[in-house]
Structure 1
Amino acid sequence: MKAPLRLILSGVLVVLVLASAVLWLTRPEPGGGSGAAIALPAGTKIGGAFSLIDDQNRPVTNETYRGHWLLVYFGYTFCPDVCPTTLQTIADALDKLGKTGAQITPLFITVDPARDTPSVMARYVHQFDSRIIGLTGTDAQIAEVAKAYRVYYAKETPKDGTAYTMDHSSFIYLMDPEGRLAALFGPQTAAKELAAAIGQKLGQDK
């Protein structure tokens, strides 16, 4: 099996596993709502070292954010629906957290570095919240960080010649100050649920 095909199949498998977890763990409970956080199998590693460029054109690594709680989301600025919706959810959740929100550094990492330059990222993320930091990089750098976070993405070029889109998984990662996954949230998580889950997690670590 050729390497590109192995990578595609691996990415699809990750998406299927995570999507199954979302469907199971966010199912409606009798007489109640849905849970916000997704549980992953024990030993599943999410996150790791990366080297990228922030929206102020400065080089950053995972060590730049060591000691900070991170809310990480992968997408792209030309995304027509899920990305802007999720970024607005993140912004609303930070507002709902009040002073606790100051402990969170939200990162939006592009999966479309060809179009998402630092200046494009800066204009885009600040439409939602000035606290959100956009990160981009080379194709290789994006591939590396996407692999560390088990993110699936692929370029989709329409046959009619219109602008391409990026198919990608859509999860929100809460990373603790040591760079470990603290919680994983599905794409349908509401701002209220997200804020409550983050607040509880940070409260447990005070």
Structure 2
Amino acid sequence: MLRTAAIAASVAVVALVGGVWYATTGPSGGDRFAQCRAGAVAGGSDQIGGPFTLVNAAGETVTDADVITEPSLVYFGYTFCPDVCPFDVARNADAVDVLAERGYSATPVFISVDPERDTPEAVGQFADLMHDKMIGLTGSPEQVKAASQAYRTYYNKQDGDPDYYLVDHSTFTYLVLPEEGFVDYFRREETPEQMADRVACFIEAS
């Protein structure tokens, strides 16, 4: 697809560290989504996700209830990211388009981990460039940190030029359902079609 093909292949910035480790275990009893999962979260999926309060592209304060109104692909990154974020976010946008072609509606969500540079206008422009349904979110450093901690993500601002610094960050995409919260995650190597297959499975099972 054009968005993904237009962006050069990238290398991972950093693996997810501390707090969350993913195991590749089989389905467990009593889980109606078991057939949809590719893996399991150590400690259970309820260890990831939860309420957040952030700021949207219009400068409005919003909560997770305002944002997660349908199946959503949530990604933590930053607009100045030179390689990984554009590739991953474009892949997520492509997955949303594949789902739409199959009759399913989903929303891509981009949460900045660089509140110093990522203003509401910046995340809005980035989201609009990637997909017309994408929601871009930022916030105060405290709001961003709280959202990141809720999803057990990692980010760390590198030392260097105060205007052109990089931010190391984890690169998982999270599938979040309105009534369920976090239900699954996707690694960087998964294709839009593979993501769409699993998202559709969760939608059908919910």
Number of aligned residue pairs: give it: 180
In the TM superposition, what is the alpha-carbon distance from 1:101 to its structure 2 partner?
6.6
Alignment of 1:120-199 (within 5 A): 120-158=122-160, 163-199=164-200
For residues 125-145 of structure 1, give each alpha carbon's deviation from its aligned partner in whole angstroms, at most 9, with x where no partner exists. Answer: 111101110000000000000
Alignment of 1:1-206 (within 5 A): 12-14=17-19, 17-18=21-22, 21=23, 37-44=38-45, 45-65=47-67, 67-98=69-100, 103-158=105-160, 163-205=164-206
AA matched with 1:184: Y
Percent of matched pairs sharing the same residue: 38
* Distance in 2 of aligned mates of 1:66 and 1:170: 20
3-state SS of 2:136 partner: strand
* Distance in 1 of aligned mates of 2:57 and 2:69: 21
- Larger mean Cα displacement after TM superposition, 60-69 or 96-105: 96-105
In the TM superposition, what is the alpha-carbon distance from 1:71 to its structure 2 partner?
1.3
Unaligned runs of 5+ in 2: 1-15, 26-35
Unaligned runs of 5+ in 1: 1-10, 26-34
* Distance in 2 of aligned mates of 1:140 and 1:62: 16
Q: 1:74 and 1:113, CA in 2 relative to 1: closer, same or farther beyond 3 A?
A: same
**RMSD between aligned residues:** 2.4
AA matched with 1:113: P
Give yes or no for contact 1:14–1:152 (8 Å, CA) kept in 2: no
Give yes or no for contact 1:74–1:110 (8 Å, CA) kept in 2: yes
In the TM superposition, what is the alpha-carbon distance from 1:66 to its structure 2 partner?
5.3
In the TM superposition, what is the alpha-carbon distance from 1:113 to its structure 2 partner?
0.7
